[in-house]
């Protein structure tokens, strides 16, 4: 156990807080020659403002007034729990069983790893509605409950760090590309009063920030496997965004590209060459989509097929709920 004096916070994710900052700086300096220059010029304040209040889930955000990126301990807890759960369920509940004759396309939670991963996912999704403490009997990065949990938690930490850095690079883009200048022109304006041109501009800047964040992680990849590994992290980040909406219709966005479209774009932009890697990425997207419809009690009738085709069917279902 780490003391509060060196690792302040209320949740076990606190033990990885410094890892995130270090990873963010290393990836930024490696990929962008002007990363430090943006800080030196005052476009971005150094460091992250870390909120440890016991509050409901909020996405990281950049304040134009202070040029600072803000992130919650609750958000980091959500990201780790969500990423761990999806990783375990896809790896142990789907990938290991999909080639077996008895596989019928249904995920069976019949091992301790799968049962606890599903319980952890259920808890993580409640953070969007109300705050509650992390049950340390469930998987966590500070005090694993078994050797298996420790093995997969340590394996997952790298994915979690990359997924979180992707979200932070999105906010860094808003500041370093001076998107605040446009934000000033519409400050205080009600969403319903935005013009078509202003809405289009918002979406354009958000897409630009996504592209910046994508390039920050993937463009420095030396080979297909590194690109795949970082790609999985990016997909996990976009899958997590699906579950940060209270109403399923809210995936249709006003200021951002639609949440499901952002997920699909991040997958297709990876342009992976290895069919196994590509199938894995589509499988992650399929499970997240299936879970999204399930928790919102939306019935979809989709026949089992290859992961890419299956994901396309889910995309068609997303379009239906936007109408």
CA pair distance 12, 141, nearest whole angstrom: 6
CB 20 within 8 A of CB 161: yes
Q: Are 168 and 48 in contact (CB under 8 A)?
A: yes
* pLDDT given for residue 1 in this prediction: 56
pLDDT (tens digit, 9 = 90+) per residue, 165-221?
A: 999 999 999 999 989 888 888 887 888 888 899 999 999 999 999 999 999 888 766
Say what the pLDDT of residue 187 is: 80
Report CA torsion sign: 115, 120, 123, 124: negative
Cβ-count burial 198-228 (b if 16+ within 10 Å, e if not): beebbbebbeebbebbbebbbeebeeeeebb
Structure confidence by residue, pLDDT tens digits, 60-107: 999 999 999 999 999 999 999 999 999 999 999 999 888 887 777 788
For residue 61, report the phi and psi dihedrals to the nearest 5 degrees. -150, 155
Query: What is the value of pTM for the model shown?
Result: 0.93
First to last CA, the chain: 50
Model confidence at 160: pLDDT above 60: yes
Structure confidence by residue, pLDDT tens digits, 100-150: 877 777 889 999 999 999 999 999 999 999 999 999 999 999 999 999 999
Q: What angle do CA 169, 268, 235 make, to 5 degrees?
A: 45
Confidence of residue 53 (pLDDT cuts 50, 70, 90): very high
Rounded to 5 degrees, φ, ψ at 50 are -105, 120
**What would the two tokens of residue 287 be?**
């499970």
Average pLDDT taken over every residue of the chain:
91
């Amino acid at each position: 156990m780490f003391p509060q004096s060196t690792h302040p916070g209320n949740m076990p994710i606190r033990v990885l807080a410094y890892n995130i900052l270090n990873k963010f700086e290393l990836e930024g300096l490696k990929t962008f020659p002007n990363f430090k220059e943006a800080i030196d010029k005052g476009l971005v304040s150094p460091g992250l403002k870390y909120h440890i209040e016991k509050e409901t889930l909020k996405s990281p955000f950049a304040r134009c007034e202070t040029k600072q990126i803000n992130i919650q301990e609750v958000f980091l807890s959500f990201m780790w729990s969500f990423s761990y759960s999806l990783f375990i369920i896809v790896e142990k509940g789907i990938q290991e069983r999909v080639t077996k004759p008895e596989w019928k396309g249904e995920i069976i939670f019949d091992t301790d790893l799968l049962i606890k991963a599903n319980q952890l996912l259920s808890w993580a999704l409640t953070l969007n509605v109300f705050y509650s403490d992390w049950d340390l009997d469930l998987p966590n990065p500070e005090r694993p409950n078994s050797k298996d949990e420790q093995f997969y938690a340590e394996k997952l930490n790298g994915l979690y760090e990359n997924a979180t850095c992707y979200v932070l690079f999105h906010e860094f883009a808003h500041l370093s590309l001076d998107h605040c200048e446009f934000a000033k022109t519409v400050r205080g304006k009600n969403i319903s009063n935005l013009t078509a041109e202003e809405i289009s501009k918002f979406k354009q800047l958000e897409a630009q920030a996504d592209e910046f964040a994508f390039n920050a992680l993937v463009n420095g990849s030396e080979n297909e496997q590194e690109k795949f590994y970082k790609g999985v992290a990016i997909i996990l980040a976009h899958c997590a965004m699906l579950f940060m909406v209270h109403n399923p219709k809210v995936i249709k966005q006003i200021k951002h590209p639609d949440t499901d479209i952002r997920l699909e774009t991040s997958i297709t932009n990876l342009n992976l060459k290895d069919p196994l890697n590509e199938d894995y990425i589509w499988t992650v997207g399929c499970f997240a989509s299936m879970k999204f419809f399930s928790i919102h009690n939306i019935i979809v009738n989709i026949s089992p097929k290859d992961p890419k085709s299956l994901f396309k069917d889910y995309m068609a279902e997303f379009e239906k709920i936007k109408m």
